[in-house]
């Protein structure tokens, strides 16, 4: 009996040992144990400065002041049966993703034998700076005005620092601080990137500044101001125009604005050319940043004119059309089958049965909230011994890939024609006509 009891005790102990071993073995192969980043090595960063907290699934990198590249060679050691599917799978880690403007980047793992690339677990990666963000510029920044420019500033301790959310400039002799961002906001760090060059901040700006010498300051998200040790030297660039609303139409004697870049009074001239005469208008109210000036129009009769902007040396900056209207809201016929809108009053040929693109606006007055769909057509009036008027339907503009067009029917006789745009309001029956197009059409 005693032997039997001893035998049963031995069996119980052995069973408990086997159960314990099985549980230990199960735990060793459990996903939460085997899916680990055991080691991570990044070129240019000492191993001692990379720590891994498995409980928090957090990788902390103590950043050096400078890095050799924005893409650091990454090697790692993973737990058993683990496969890396996100973060450094191509063998490199993009250090720009550590910008605090964005969410912390993640390195994701799944099982090695899994066919899915969806991570089962992820480690977050955060950077800790080893010092204050410092601009290391050695020479002045020469900035030539254009529509959008990039100002690049070399720095130390960029990675892991608070993000830069604004850049302020102060012109020499002034105390006014001007933001290089037109609309600074809490998410302005999206305007500042670490660029394609390591240890460098790129400021994207469309701000136009008065030529001169400026101090430059970077403002971080926590309010810290970093002074750039070299000045910003703003110089005039190449004159150019932006889209101008005045190309659609102005009333007689109504001034209009010309807007663009590098439009300075001492550098710019402007002429207005009609079919029979050229005018030299008065230019005034030039902005000190070169972004606009005002044109005081001479007493122009309703019709179509060309505005030519030149540099003082004669080089052409732009040539656009201005339409002088009889009344506000008059339709404007901008172009027929033309790629150029400059300085041409000669007749041109059109073939019947061919699609011809047309550019126009049915009303220069402001649109109503619920505009009426207008009926629009081209009115061809024959000039010569046998006059006649022909109404040609317009296939309306749909989108940028489907511009408005018309097709001359075979029934329209050959000859020269004056063309107007006719617009009808179907609710009121009211007709509106544009001025005669500046070029005659020769139907062949």
Find the mean pLDDT for residues 111-137.
94
Element (H, E) at 10: helix 2-28
Query: Token pair for residue 94?
Result: 């993009």
pLDDT tens digits along 160-175: 998 888 899 999 999 9
pLDDT at 271 over 60: yes
Least confident of 142-151, 209-218, 368-377: 368-377
Q: How far apart are CA 126 and CA 305, in angstroms?
A: 62
pLDDT at 268 over 70: yes
The pTM of this model reads 0.75
Find the mean pLDDT for residues 335-339.
80
Q: What mean pLDDT is reported for the chain? A: 85
pLDDT at 2 over 60: no
Q: Which residue has the higher pLDDT, 78 or 18?
A: 78
Q: Where does the pLDDT of residue 281 fall: very low under 50, low under 70, confident under 90, or very high at 90 and above?
A: very high
pLDDT tens digits along 386-416: 889 999 999 887 665 678 899 999 999 999 9
pLDDT value, residue 148? 84
Q: Are 390 and 434 in contact (CB under 8 A)?
A: no
Could you give the count of Cα atoms lying within 13 Å of 308 in the half-sphere of its Cβ? 16
Q: How far apart are CA 409 and CA 327, in angstroms?
A: 32
Q: Provide Rg for the chain, Cα atoms.
A: 36
How many residues are there in the chain? 444
pLDDT value, residue 419? 97
Q: Which residue has the higher pLDDT, 293 or 184?
A: 293
pLDDT value, residue 193? 57
pLDDT value, residue 16? 46
Least confident of 2-6, 109-113, 280-284, 341-345: 2-6
Q: Where does the pLDDT of residue 181 fall: very low under 50, low under 70, confident under 90, or very high at 90 and above?
A: confident
pLDDT tens digits along 411-434: 999 999 999 999 988 888 888 999
pLDDT value, residue 28? 41
The candidate with the shortest Cα–Cα distance to 46, out of 124, 131, 130, is: 130
pLDDT value, residue 23? 36
pLDDT value, residue 70? 87
pLDDT value, residue 430? 87
pLDDT at 189 over 70: no
Helix (H, G, I), strand (E, B) or coil at 26: helix
Per residue in 182-191, is it b (16+ CB within 10 Å) or e — as a string?
A: eeeeeebbeb
Element (H, E) at 385: none
Q: How far apart are CA 390 and CA 116, in angstroms?
A: 68
pLDDT value, residue 361? 85
Residue 235, CA distances (Å) to 146, 153, 169, 208 in order: 10, 18, 15, 11
SS3 content of the chain, % helix, strand, coil (to 5): 10, 45, 45
pLDDT value, residue 198? 87
The candidate with the shortest Cα–Cα distance to 124, out of 33, 42, 51, 32, is: 51
pLDDT value, residue 339? 62
Q: How far apart are CA 92 and CA 87, in angstroms?
A: 8
pLDDT tens digits along 233-247: 999 999 999 877 677
Q: Cβ contacts of residue 14 below 8 Å, gap of 6+?
A: none
pLDDT tens digits along 12-53: 444 444 444 333 333 344 445 589 999 999 999 999 999 999
Q: Cβ contacts of residue 40 below 8 Å, gap of 6+?
A: 50, 52, 59, 74, 75, 76, 107
Find the mean pLDDT for residues 132-149.
93
pLDDT value, residue 310? 94
pLDDT at 125 over 80: yes
Q: Where does the pLDDT of residue 282 fall: very low under 50, low under 70, confident under 90, or very high at 90 and above?
A: very high
pLDDT value, residue 163? 86
pLDDT value, residue 206? 85
pLDDT at 364 over 70: no
pLDDT value, residue 107? 93
Q: How far apart are CA 138 and CA 160, in angstroms?
A: 23
Q: Which residue has the higher pLDDT, 210 or 424?
A: 210
């Amino acid at each position: 009996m005693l032997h039997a009891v001893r035998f049963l005790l031995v069996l119980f102990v052995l069973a408990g040992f086997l159960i314990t071993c099985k549980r230990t073995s199960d735990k060793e192969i459990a996903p939460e144990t085997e899916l680990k980043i055991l080691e991570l090595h990044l070129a240019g960063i000492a191993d001692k400065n990379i720590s891994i907290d498995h409980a928090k699934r957090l990788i902390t990198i103590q950043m050096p002041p400078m890095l050799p590249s924005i893409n650091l060679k990454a090697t790692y050691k993973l737990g058993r049966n683990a496969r890396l599917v996100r973060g450094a799978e191509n063998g490199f880690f993009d250090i720009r993703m550590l910008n605090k403007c964005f969410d912390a980047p993640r390195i994701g793992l799944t099982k090695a034998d899994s066919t899915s690339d969806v991570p089962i677990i992820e480690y977050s990666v955060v950077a800790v700076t080893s010092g204050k963000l410092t601009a290391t510029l050695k020479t002045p920044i020469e900035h030539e005005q254009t529509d959008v420019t990039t100002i690049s500033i070399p720095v130390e301790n960029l990675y892991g620092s608070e993000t830069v959310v604004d850049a302020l400039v102060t012109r020499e002799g002034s105390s006014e601080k001007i933001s290089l961002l037109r609309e600074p906001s809490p998410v302005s760090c999206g305007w500042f990137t670490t660029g394609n060059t390591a240890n460098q901040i790129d400021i994207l700006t469309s701000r136009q500044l008065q030529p001169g010498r400026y101090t430059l300051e970077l403002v971080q998200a926590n309010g810290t101001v970093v002074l750039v040790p070299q000045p910003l030297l703003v110089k005039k660039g190449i004159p150019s125009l932006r889209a101008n609303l005045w190309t659609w139409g102005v009333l007689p004697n109504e001034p209009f604005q010309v807007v663009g870049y590098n439009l300075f009074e001492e550098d710019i001239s402007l002429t207005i050319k009609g079919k029979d005469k050229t005018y030299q208008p008065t230019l005034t109210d030039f902005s000190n940043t070169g972004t606009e000036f005002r044109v005081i129009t001479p007493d122009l009769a309703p019709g179509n004119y060309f505005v030519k902007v030149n540099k003082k040396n004669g080089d052409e900056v732009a040539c656009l059309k201005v339409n002088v209207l009889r009344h506000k809201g008059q339709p404007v016929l901008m172009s027929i089958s033309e790629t150029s809108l400059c300085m041409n009053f000669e007749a041109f040929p059109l073939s019947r049965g061919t699609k011809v693109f047309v550019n126009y606006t049915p009303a220069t007055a402001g649109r109503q909230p619920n505009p009426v769909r207008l009926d629009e057509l081209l009115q061809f009036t024959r000039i010569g011994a046998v006059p006649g008027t022909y109404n040609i339907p317009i296939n309306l503009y749909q989108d940028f890939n489907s511009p408005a067009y018309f097709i001359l029917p075979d029934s329209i006789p050959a000859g020269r024609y004056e063309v107007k745009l006719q617009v009808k309001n179907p609710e009121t029956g009211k007709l509106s006509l544009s001025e005669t197009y500046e070029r005659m059409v020769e139907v062949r």
